[in-house]
Amino acid sequence: MALTDFETRLLAEFSFRAHLELAQSQSAYMRHQFEFIGLKAADRRAVVNPLMAEANRPPAQEWRKVVKRLWVFPQRDYQYFAQELAEKYAKNFAREDIALFQFMVTNKSWWDTVDFIATHLIGNYFKSFPEQIPATIDKWLASGNIWLQRSALLFQLKYKAATDQELLGEIIRTLATSK
């Protein structure tokens, strides 16, 4: 599948700023679970900020495809970018987007992305579609997948006073014997 102009620009900018030594240390920090491009924080922001400006983002009907394509790239930097891009469309989340978020949680899973997805994407999704919470959370808790279970536990983290304490208690009790 051909890359969009947006994706091509992102890849070029990331490649231009790549640092092999930093990439190796980033990979070591993540227990060699993932490859990295080796972007310093300032370099990453120099790329991300202009691309995240509303005028430069993919059209609303394209963001899901871009996120999914970036998710399969081997370098972790692309997953970070993809999840941050998805967050920019939070006001446009659709009922079926839970499938995309579940895909993101269960593919290339590790705490660094799962925690962001749970609190920023799934948390916002459930604010828009609270009727989806019971069936989805029940399914995730029964899945045996540690990352889906972690997402069920964390999705309300930014809810503050709006946290459903009864639901949180049920999730905690369900996972109490989990590793």
Residues 8-43 have pLDDT tens digits of: 999 999 999 999 999 999 999 999 999 999 998 888
Contacts of 79 (CB under 8 A, 6+ apart): 34, 70, 71, 73, 104, 108, 113
Confidence (pLDDT) at 114: 98
Residue 1 pLDDT > 70: no
Residues 51-70 have pLDDT tens digits of: 999 999 999 999 999 999 99
Residues 125-177 have pLDDT tens digits of: 999 999 999 999 999 999 999 999 999 999 999 999 999 999 999 999 999 99
Q: What mean pLDDT comes out for the span 107-124?
A: 97
- Band of the pLDDT at 49, cuts 50, 70, 90? very high
Q: What mean pLDDT comes out for the span 112-125?
A: 98
Confidence (pLDDT) at 3: 85
- Token pair for residue 164? 């459903």
Confidence (pLDDT) at 172: 98
Residues 96-107 have pLDDT tens digits of: 999 999 999 999
Question: Which alpha helices (H) appear in 17-164, and where do they start and end?
Answer: 20-29, 41-52, 63-71, 76-88, 97-106, 111-116, 123-128, 133-142, 146-154
Q: Burial level of 119, CB count in 10 A (0-12/13-18/19+)?
A: middle
